[in-house]
Structures are given as C-alpha cells and as structure tokens.
Amino acid sequence: MSESSPGIAVIMRSHNDIDVIRDTLKMLSRQSLQNFELWNFALRSTDGTLEVIQQYNHADRIIHSDPAGHNPGRVLNDVVAKVKAEILVFLDPDATPADEYWLENLIEPLKDPNVGAVFGRQVSRPDCRSLFVKDKERAFGDGTESASWLHFFSMANSAARTRVLKHFPFETALPYGQDMEWSYRLRRGGHHVRYVADAIVFHSHNYSLKQIYKRYFGEGIAYAFIFSEGELSASWSRNFLTPFGMEIFRDLRWALNRCSADALLHSIPLRFVQKWARWRGIRKGRQDEASSCLSTRVGEESFTFDGNRQAETRVARDQAIIGAHVRRVVARENFAALVLMGGYGRGEGGYRYQDGRPSPYNDYDYVVMVKGMNRRRAGVLQQQLKHVALQLQERVGVEVNLAVMPTETLVSAPFTLMNAEMKWGHRIVTGDHRVLKHMPGMPFDKLPMGEFTRLMNNRGALLLMNTRMLSENVELSHRQRETFFKHLFKTVLACGDAYLAVEGAYHPSYVEKKKRITRLRQSPGPNFIKLYRLAVEQKFYPDPDRFGDVNLPAWQRRITDCWLAAFSRLEMCRTDQRISNWREYASPNLPKGQLETSRLFRNFVISLRDFGTSHTMRHLHWALRYPRERLISVLPLLLNSSAVHTPVNVAVTLAVSPDSDRRQLVDCYLETWQRYS
C-alpha cells in the first residue's frame, strides 16, 4: 500500500478466507484513492489467510484475536476505539471491489454532514446459484426496491464517520444483525443512511439449506430485538405464509423469464426454509426479550448539558418531588409512568446560578402515562393536572407542564414532532421504564413538514405575547424581561429547526443542530447563525441579565424578521409553491399541513361550537379546517408590523368583528391559540 493518512481507514475482519481474500487485497491496492490505512482484524485461521494478509499489510496494523467467545458487536466497538481515522470503511474479505473507483465512490456521500453512514452495492459472483443472484439484485440493484422496506443495510461494504460510530456504538447483545440494529438506531437518531449504487463489490454465497436455516433463524431473533416497538408483526401469516407465497410467485416469474431450471427446482425448499426459520427466530426473540447492552440516546446519565453535579442534584430532587406528587394524584390502578421530555429528558437541560448555586431554568415537560382510562376520565384528569402543575411550579421554581396520554393509544400514536422527540430522548421519572416499548418507530427524516409549521406557529405566538407585553408596559419588570428574551431565543431555535427540516437535516440534539446549521446547502446567513449560537448558549447557560440595557423593540423586530424569513422558506418547501405575499397565504384553500384537518366532520362540529353557527355557515371554507389552520394562516399578517392596517380577512378568520383593532385581534388570537397550540 502507499503512504497512509489518518483520514480514512479500511477495516477488514477475516477468518479462513484464503479463497477470496487475495483478490480483495489486490483490488484495494489498485484503488484510485490511496490515502487510507488498512487494518486487518484476523481471527486465528488455519488455511493460510494470515500469511496472505501479511503480504499486503504492515504487522502493526494486523490485530490477532481468538475465535473463542467471539462477539461481533464487541469486536466492532474495539475496532472503533483502536483505529484513529476520520472515516472508517468496513469491507468483508470476500467482498471484492469491482473497480478502482470503489472506495472513492463509497465515501463520496459522507461529504454531506447529514449522512451518518453509507453502504454500497453487492453483485453476485459468476458461480452463484440462480435464486441467490435474484435475491442479491432485488436487495441491492439500483436501490429502489429496498428503499420501500422497513429498513435495509449491509456492513460488508460500508463506511461511517468515526465520531458517529463512537456516538452510536454497536450492540453486543446480538449474535446476528448488529449492522441492521446499529444503522436503524442511527437513522432513528436523525442521521441519513445512504445507499451508493456505484460502489460495487463482488460478494455472494451458495448456502446449503442447513446454513440458510441457521442464518435466517439468527436474523429473526435480531429482527425481534431491532423492531421491538410495533414496527414488525410476529404473526405466522405475515412472517411465513404471505412472504412464502409471494416469493414463490416472484421466483416463478424470474425463472421463466430466464429459462432457469435451477431456480424452479430450488425455489420451494429455499423459500420454505428461509421464511420458516425467520418466523421461528422472531418468535424466539419475542419470547426471550433480550435486553440491550447500550443506551440508545444521548444524555441518559444526566439531566443537564454538562452534567454539573450540583445542578444534577437539584434537578433530581425536583423530579422526586414532582414524581411523588403526580403519583398521589393519579389512582394507583391507572398510573403507568411519568415521562420527562424536552431538554432535561434528553440530557440537554440548562441551568443558571442563583445565590451561588446552579438552578434549573428551562421548563419541566412531562407526559403522564395512564392505563385503563376512557377519553372522558383522561380529560377530567388533564384538567386536574393543570392545577397540580401550578402548585408544583410554585414549589420547584420552574414551569411544569403535565400532559396525559393513555398507554392504549401508544401503538397507534400519531407521527408528530413531540412524539418523535419523546421516543428518542426521554427519562422515566417513576413507573414502568418500558412504557414506550410499543410506540411505533418515528425516524426524524420522515417527519411531516406540517409538524414544523406547527412548531413555528407556536413560537410565533410567543412573539405576539412579546408584542402585547411591549404595548402594555412603558418599562418591563425584571421578570418580564426574562420572559421576553426567553420567548425570543425559543423562536430563534425554532427557526433553526425549520431551516434544518427544509433540507431533511433535523435532529433533536442541540449539540448536533449547532453543527448542522453551519453546513446547510442553502445557508440562512452568518447573522442568523451567530444568533442561533447565542440562542443555544442561552438554552444551556441562560443569562437574561446580559441583555439588561438593549433596545427591546429592536430585538423584537430582529427576531420577528428571522421568523418571517424562516417561515417563508419552510412553507414554500412544504407547499411547493411560491408565497408572494402573506395575504394570499392566509387563504383556506392553501392547506397548512396539520394532521387533524383530515377529520372534516369533527372540524365542522368544533367550528360550530367555538365560532358560532352564523359564522360557520357563512364561512364553510374555514369550517372544515381544524382551528389551528386559521391561526397559522393569519399569524404572519399579525406579526408583520410593516402593514399599516390589519387585513379584513384576519378578522374573518378569527371570527371577530371587522372593526376590531390590532390589540383585540392579538388577544383573540392568543386566546384561541391556548386551546389549539
């Protein structure tokens, strides 16, 4: 090999691969991109594999290990810890690069900071049996077929950044499927997994039926572990009968098109063993319910961003107080768990110093999981918990929010930003620590764009509160100024979320978001990035006194302009339409992407109840839309202070008199927003 560089390392694990490893090492030596180190992690072989490796690699980069007690996940984690390189490329010894551009093509997508991992195409060798060729082409090919599957990944020909691999270590509780589990967790953590069709290797096996059974049984156990939260059915018909029949049909069509007798004869025994073994493995995995050896989220050990011991003690004390109080309020037979969300739930909470000690500053946001409650009883409990939250707020000195969710609804929980963030990063304060097990997977790159429209609407409403605060007070009190800037910085962070969402780069962690915001293809500009960094800093280490002498109206105008710019870009992306002015946007004919809008009859009844029969019947175009869509439609007009007069359609949309002044419209808006935020 040529002069090496710490930028890229190719990792090869081997054991008795004498038949293929020489060709693979030869093709590595011919790559157009040669600034890499080759690392061989060699189980003790008996066929001369080690001697071949020694011809192509330096002795100090050949790591020997004993196959006894071999754990693939642990070996991979050891590899990541030992090898010092920015990018790690994983290549099986029997995955021979097809050309000299394989490595260059494979790592190209990693230039995009949003891409967490890549994997390349695999093509069958000439001696491969017909149906194994078919399966290989279906799984890989141009990638369109596997893109529709629940998840697909292969580490035999793959690459990832080392920092990602350290952030997401491999699971050691699995004997099979570590690459699938790792990449699925990576994707759910907000990273993209990219298939590279032009990074081609020759890789195939002619497995016997006995080997097939062992392989697919192991994969079934891994699938039960990976998709343990409702993504995968365990039924006999869904996992054996239907796939068996469909695969036989596909085999028949493929064999006839290619006049392959081998495929016809091989089909029934092969597919029976594959599907039967996988179903049995899934059943076995479900019965065993293996526990993960890893934390699947950031910040599990701490509530705060930096884990300050005094801050941690204070927050932990608050959790004990709140958890005990909630358990007293909710009947024992109905209580399931108290789930802490938000910054403290994912280990990114902020604190500030008061009287020389760190104290929490951000809100405590909770979901109270209940069981055996119908909708009416859950609604009564929700009202009761509003008063409880105010009592707790007085006691702990931080705003407390308590939302009720029945556990029976988890399996069909809607794909919302709140649910996705709760699934990814939470802390069980008290109760069942597996309460969210049956909640479906919610990868961030699949979130509906309307969820970010809703987020921006909620933060824009905070700006309206600021506007009202400024209009009612000649000079704000110290607490009001605190609230004022808290609203501003929450809005800036939401604008950052909108910019990230537009490019499919959203991630819940602010540490990751701060990195990604600087790498967007369409940058929001250096001024916004500077402001965003300040907002993140104020989230982790709030210091409202720092802004004691600034011009408040100027700051309000500055952040409002940021909101309008970010909201415009988000909505043009979501609607795929150019928004020329906010009056046109306020039309009910332009959907605002809210999930509830599809429930037309329910929306009509709500309109009758909240806006009156007369208004509802005169404005049927609004009556069928969920009220939040009204709020989203008019918010840019209310925030855009450059407008001399508030357009009449704002009053119509909010169902108030056309003679209402701006202050009355803002009051009406915020009152409605409190119900439908």
CA distance 325 to 616: 43
CA distance 224 to 241: 18
| Sequence-separated (6 or more) residues with CB below 8 Å from residue 539 | 343, 348, 350, 362, 489, 493, 510
CA atoms within 13 A on the CB side of 434: 7
Residue ranges, comma separated, of all CATH 3.30.460 domains in the chain are 309-442
Output phi, psi for 115, to 5 deg: -85, 120
CA distance 425 to 297: 6
SS3 label, residue 486: helix
What is the side-by-side order of every strand in the sheet holding 364-370?
A: 400-406, 364-370, 335-340, 427-431
Contact status, residue 139 vs residue 181, Cβ threshold 8 Å:
no
CA atoms within 13 A on the CB side of 604: 8
Which residues, given as ranges, of the chain have pLDDT below 50?
A: 1-5, 295-300, 644
452-509: pLDDT as tens digits: 999 999 999 999 999 999 988 778 888 899 999 999 999 999 999 999 999 999 999 9
96-155: pLDDT as tens digits: 999 999 999 999 999 887 788 999 999 999 999 999 999 999 999 998 888 888 889 999
pLDDT score, position 292: 59
Q: At what angle do helices 526-540 and 478-502 cross, to 10 degrees?
A: 120
pLDDT score, position 646: 58
Contact status, residue 590 vs residue 577, Cβ threshold 8 Å:
yes
Q: Which fold has domain 309-442?
A: Beta Polymerase; domain 2 (3.30.460)
> Tokens 């500077």 — which residue?
530
pLDDT score, position 129: 94
Tell me the DSSP string of 76-91. Answer: HHHHHHH---SEEEEE
Q: Which fold has domain 1-205?
A: Spore Coat Polysaccharide Biosynthesis Protein SpsA; Chain A (3.90.550)
| Sequence-separated (6 or more) residues with CB below 8 Å from residue 575 | 590, 591, 593
Containing H/E element for 32? none
Cβ neighbourhood burial of 167 (10 Å; 0-12, 13-18, 19+): middle
Residue ranges, comma separated, of all CATH 3.90.550.10 domains in the chain are 1-205
First to last CA, the chain: 61
Helical spans, DSSP H, in 397-449: 417-424
